[in-house]
Amino acid sequence: MEGITYGENGMGIPVLTYEELAGLLLGYDPWDIGLQVHQVSVEPLMDKLGIQYNADAKYKGLNNEDLGQPVKPANLQV
């Protein structure tokens, strides 16, 4: 609301729910549990945690249908 961004280089800090973190640690696909809809990119966090993911499948729906990319946020770098 105030336009303040925390994190390195204005990238923001990803925040996950307990359920999302548990799903990642149990081996669920991050895109199946909806991490692509977070406003802050979760890929750097998943890289640090050693979570495997397919970057090409980030915005794919059922039957490999392209869902399109969301509008970029105004206060965050992505």
Structural domain boundaries of the chain? Answer: 8-64
Give the per-residue pLDDT at 73.
Answer: 66
What is d(CA 30, CA 74) in angstroms, rounded to the nearest whole number?
24
H and E: helices and strands count for the chain: 2, 0
Q: What is the pLDDT confidence band of residue 23, given thresholds at 50, 70 and 90?
A: very high
Evaluate whether 67 touches 59 at the Cβ level (below 8 Å). Answer: yes
Is the per-residue pLDDT at 66 higher than 90? Answer: no
Q: Does this model's pTM top 0.85?
A: no
Evaluate whether 44 touches 11 at the Cβ level (below 8 Å). Answer: yes
Beta partners for 60?
66
The more confidently predicted of residues 21 and 13 is 21
